[in-house]
Amino acid sequence: MSSTKVIFPKVNITGERSIRFAFSNQVGKEIFNQVQSFCHMLEKESFLIEEVVPSYHTVTVYLKKDLEKIEPFIQSVLAKWEQQSKGEPDWNSRKLQIPVCYHEEFALDMERVMEHTGLRNSEIITLHSQTVYTTYMIGFLPGFPYLGELNPKLATPRLPNPRAKVPKGTVGIGGSQTGIYPIECPGGWNIIGKTPLEIYRPDREEPFFIRTGDTLRFVAISQAEFSAIQTQLVKHPESICEFIKEN
Amino acid sequence: MIPLLKVRKAGVYGSIQDKGRFGFQRFGVPVSGPMDAYAYEIGNYILGNPAGSPALEVFLGGQEFEVLSDHRIVITGADLGAKVDGKAVPLWKTFSIHQGQTLKFTSPNKGSIAYVFPEGGFHSEELLGSASVYPKGLLGSSLKKDGVLYANKEKWAGFHRGLIPSEIPDYLNEVEVSVWPSPHIEMFVPESLEEFFQTLYTMRSGDRMGYLLKGPELRFKNGGDILSEATQFGTIQVPNSGQPLILMADAQTIGGYATIGKIAKEDIGKIAQLRPGGKIRFKIRGQVLSL
């Protein structure tokens, strides 16, 4: 966070146990930083809090039990937030590298993206893998990251007819967004590659590879590298940690 | 671990549910858990099971089981025409079942969701801290033909226990529910919102993800798309069609449609128990809507 000035959120009690803190109506780096700092502050005050769900611009807090009066809790949170503004932010984003094979074996819609963007295959791969993406939130499916920002040159409308099944690990472009399918599911995004990483695996010690706040980069790999990584991860699922580059 | 029921017919839908999976909504995993919390909690209470023990939740009937062991069970929630060897069994009251018998849910007489509890609850693998089945997230599997359900404890030789009749809910086809208003409420045309709170909406279809409603179309001042944000069990979402839907226990954790509000916790079970054709009247909770 470049500045230590905090935005005071608008507060709504949205249920017996839920409070919505809204920081803005827009998507942006500054709002994202505020949302992240606020979440990290709340995580340290967790005795009444069941969980905290961030989005681009809001933080929703779910409480462990019905409180007789919810306002004092809100007041205390806001008072702490004001204190926070006087100190330095204390969170760092993790940096992840996601290997992606863009080979035609996996990149089923590369032609369509080329046609739509007017770019060559190699240019698409370069633009897609050059960008450092920020994970704004996770949802829609378990472990599915909402990433910003795709290079606008790569924006391609969703498929007119979604596929009934898209394999897990598929990397795609849907409109102005890019993302990774954590599990096999129906999908309408343009498929441009596949990662051998299982970003969601409920039986792994860390079921979710990507967390909100992580920054990530796609690294182009060959089919041979794809197979090697996949084999390695089948033997040692926890070795996925090697793709976390720093903390 | 006692083998108790073998699935002969999976029926409309059935799944093991405990109190829910908490702490993973920020990773896109819904809380899941029982659709009708009261019927679920009371079932464990009647049997003397620890609160939160896993139960079998069944929708609308059609399920058929072969009983594999002598046991004591209780069924709570909807009257789905439960029969053992063709004979009706009590609801909200324990009864004995015996090896070789057939337990069947024949048809929905009242309500739509019932719960079955054995001694100690059903044995079920915990994933991400909960036994609640959420197939879409690879967290367990719904009821499947030939699957076997295991009880956590052996049969108990004691007497039978039931709930006092005054505490047994009556599942009505027309319900009134109160709503915590959403901050998006300002996005709706006021007259349209007023109509929403004055008209009966009809339940069209539904499952553990959501219940689709039909009624007067809701109109937006300037479109209903929002920046995606957290949703929860009971959130009333309005897609661009203008026909609302209610997000249920397995719904996604964030959504990009404007919401009217959230159904009060004590009323969600009433909606869960509606069948297609059931009617809902919405009331703003504890405050007058200023339009």
* Residue at A3 is within a domain: no
| Integer angstrom CA distances of residue A199 from A96, A195, B5, B212 | 11, 9, 36, 32
* Average pLDDT of span A110-134: 97
Q: What is the pLDDT of residues A156-172, one digit of tens each?
A: 999 999 999 999 999 99
Domain that holds residue A46: 10-84
Q: Which residues of A touch B264 (CB under 8 A)?
A: 16
Nearest CA-CA distance, residue B23 and chain A, Å:
5
Residues A211, A116: one domain? Answer: yes
Residue carrying the six token digits 């929860």? B232
Residue A87 pLDDT class (50, 70, 90 cuts): low
Asked if residue B133 lies in contact with residue B142, where contact means CB atoms within 8 angstroms, the answer is: yes
Residue A148 pLDDT class (50, 70, 90 cuts): confident
In chain B, what are the domain boundaries?
A: 2-167, 174-284
Q: What is the pLDDT of residue A137?
A: 93
Residues A74, A102: one domain? Answer: no
The CA-based angle B143-B149-B155, given to 5 degrees, is 145
Q: What is the pLDDT of residue A47?
A: 85
Residue A6 pLDDT class (50, 70, 90 cuts): confident
Q: What is the pLDDT of residue A48?
A: 92
Q: Which residues of A touch B28 (CB under 8 A)?
A: 138-144
Residue A247 pLDDT class (50, 70, 90 cuts): low
Whole-number Å distance between alpha carbons of B181 and B268: 15
| Residue B190 token pair | 């006021």
Nearest CA-CA distance, residue A235 and chain B, Å:
20
Residues A25, A66: one domain? Answer: yes
Q: HSE on the CB side for B211, CA within 13 Å?
A: 28
User: What CATH code is carried by the domain that includes residue A32?
Assistant: 3.30.1360.40
Whole-number Å distance between alpha carbons of B65 and B230: 39
Q: What is the pLDDT of residues B146-176, one digit of tens each?
A: 999 999 998 876 789 999 999 999 999 999 9
Q: What is the pLDDT of residue B290?
A: 46
Across the interface, of A14, A16, A140, the residue whose CB is closest to B28 is A140
* Residue at A161 is within a domain: yes
Q: What is the pLDDT of residue A118?
A: 97
Buried b / exposed e across B51-64, counting CB within 10 Å, b at 16+? ebbbbbbbbbbbbb
Q: What is the pLDDT of residue A245?
A: 85
Q: Pairing between strand A95-101 and A163-166?
A: unpaired
| Integer angstrom CA distances of residue A217 from A98, A190, B49, B154 | 6, 19, 49, 54
The CA-based angle B134-B246-B229, given to 5 degrees, is 80
Q: B174-284, what's its fold?
A: Cyclophilin (2.40.100)
Nearest CA-CA distance, residue A185 and chain B, Å:
9
Rg (CA), chain A: 20
Q: What is the pLDDT of residue A80?
A: 92
Q: What is the pLDDT of residue B223?
A: 86
Residue A75 pLDDT class (50, 70, 90 cuts): very high
In terms of CA atoms, which chain A residue is nearest residue B266? A16
| Residue A41 token pair | 């502050």
* Residue at A89 is within a domain: no
Q: How many folded domains does chain A comprise?
A: 2
Residues A164, A236: one domain? Answer: yes
Q: Which of A62, A84, A106 is the last residue of a domain?
A: A84
Q: What is the pLDDT of residue B287?
A: 59
Asked if residue A95 lies in contact with residue A219, where contact means CB atoms within 8 angstroms, the answer is: no
* Residue at A202 is within a domain: yes
Residue ranges of A 57-76 with Cβ closer than 8 A to chain B: 57-58, 60, 62
Q: Which of A36, A55, A84 is the last residue of a domain?
A: A84
CB contact under 8 A, B229 and A55: yes
Q: Which residues of A touch B265 (CB under 8 A)?
A: 15-17
- Lowest-pLDDT range of A22-26, A100-104, B99-103, B272-276: A22-26
The answer to whether residue A54 neighbours chain B at the CB level (below 8 Å) is yes
Q: Which of A84, A115, A148 is the last residue of a domain?
A: A84
CB within 8 A of B111, min separation 6: which ones? B77, B78, B79, B80, B171, B273, B275
Across the interface, of B138, B227, B232, the residue whose CB is closest to A55 is B227
| Integer angstrom CA distances of residue A84 from A5, A35, A71, B135 | 9, 13, 20, 41
The answer to whether residue A52 neighbours chain B at the CB level (below 8 Å) is yes
Q: What is the pLDDT of residue A2?
A: 44
Mean pLDDT of chain A: 91
Q: What is the pLDDT of residues A184-199, one digit of tens each?
A: 999 999 999 999 999 9
| Integer angstrom CA distances of residue B202 from B12, B213, B234, B245, B280 | 21, 5, 16, 11, 6
Nearest CA-CA distance, residue A188 and chain B, Å:
17
Q: How far is CA B17 from the centre of its chain?
A: 10
Residues A172, A140: one domain? Answer: yes
* Residue at A207 is within a domain: yes
H helix intervals, A89-137: 110-117, 121-130
Q: Pairing between strand B279-284 and B174-181?
A: parallel
Q: Is the pLDDT of residue A89 over 70?
A: no
Q: Which residue stretches of chain B have pLDDT < 50? A: 288-291
Asked if residue A174 lies in contact with residue A189, where contact means CB atoms within 8 angstroms, the answer is: yes
Residue A5 pLDDT class (50, 70, 90 cuts): confident
